[in-house]
A and B are shown apart, each in its own frame.
Chain A
């Protein structure tokens, strides 16, 4: 299923559970949706970096198995943005369910 436009929110949601690196974020989104939400992993990093520039997430570089790995964490502004997105999504979801359920 096409993830267009929803990837940034899904990233914030995954990070609300704690610190993750890019690969782990990608796997968690795929696994949590039981494979329904599939995306090319190369598109994850532009989305991650954009969220960081917006101040929604922060990152830190650490050493892992002899190589550098960047870990991401949800920032306060990101948590607030996630709450707003959740609320909007619930409203939209309810409205669409009402319409589809009525036919």
Chain B
């Protein structure tokens, strides 16, 4: 087995590398690097002690790895403290506004506009605003004969999406001010609102009543909510546990 990156000059302690691989699986690169450095230092110290006690290098290495216990148990425990790679990506997408969030990623790929902006929040604002505009124009094109109540609903949805856009633009600043949990929670909800609005808006009006299978968009919104909850809720719970205890 290849030694982890940064440990190329190490002897071939296969068991240690296998232990580290299992224990740190799925964690973000930063977390993996920190755990790897500490565990290898621990291992080296245990190895030295074992050899001083008269064991051969192989036996001492074997005993040192056995002393670490089950890597799967360690992984479960590390996952309670550290963000997984997915969760770290979500946080990064909110904090570093130059990176697109999920809702704006399709547009940013198509336009490649975000990188050109000097102030990163302006890029995010622009992309989210385009998304809101798309919803508004899609609504107008697809539903020519809306009743007053339906128009009010559409205007309401677009207004909520505009608020979500502003929130999304403010998230990096909130995060930098030390309100980590609030920033991620707001960003997550803003994303949900943007996608939700995009899916549900066309459902309201005569076009959806005649062409779309009834309720299709609401099913899609349900799936969206489940995906959102699976990705974001564990992250929010993890951040909340950290803040409660400090």
A interface with B by C-beta (< 8 Å): 21-23, 26, 39-43, 45-47, 49-50, 53-55, 64, 67-70, 77
Q: Does B80 contact A (CB under 8 A)?
A: yes
* Contacting residues, chain A, for B67 (C-beta < 8 A): 40-41
Grouping DSSP codes into helix (H, G, I), strand (E, B) and loop, the A interface class, with mixed when no group exceeds half, is helix
27 examples of A-B residue contacts, CB within 8 angstroms: A21-B41, A22-B38, A26-B42, A39-B69, A40-B67, A40-B68, A40-B70, A41-B42, A41-B69, A42-B23, A42-B69, A42-B71, A43-B74, A43-B77, A45-B35, A45-B78, A46-B77, A46-B81, A49-B78, A49-B81, A50-B81, A53-B81, A54-B242, A55-B246, A68-B37, A68-B41, A70-B41
A-B contact count (CB 8 A): 72
Q: Does B126 contact A (CB under 8 A)?
A: no
Question: Closest residue of chain A to B74, judged by CB?
Answer: A42
CB-contact partner of B69 in A21, A40, A55, A77, under 8 A = A40
A41 to B38, CA, bound (A): 12
B interface with A by C-beta (< 8 Å): 19, 23, 35, 37-42, 44-46, 67-71, 73-74, 77-78, 80-82, 242, 245-246
Least distance between A3 CB and chain B CB atoms (Å): 12
* Contacting residues, chain B, for A46 (C-beta < 8 A): 74, 77-78, 80-81
Q: Is the CB of B41 within 8 A of A40?
A: no
Q: Is the CB of B39 within 8 A of A45?
A: yes
* Contacting residues, chain A, for B37 (C-beta < 8 A): 68, 70
Question: Closest residue of chain A to B78, judged by CB?
Answer: A46
Question: Closest residue of chain B to A65, judged by CB?
Answer: B44
A51 to B164, CA, bound (A): 35
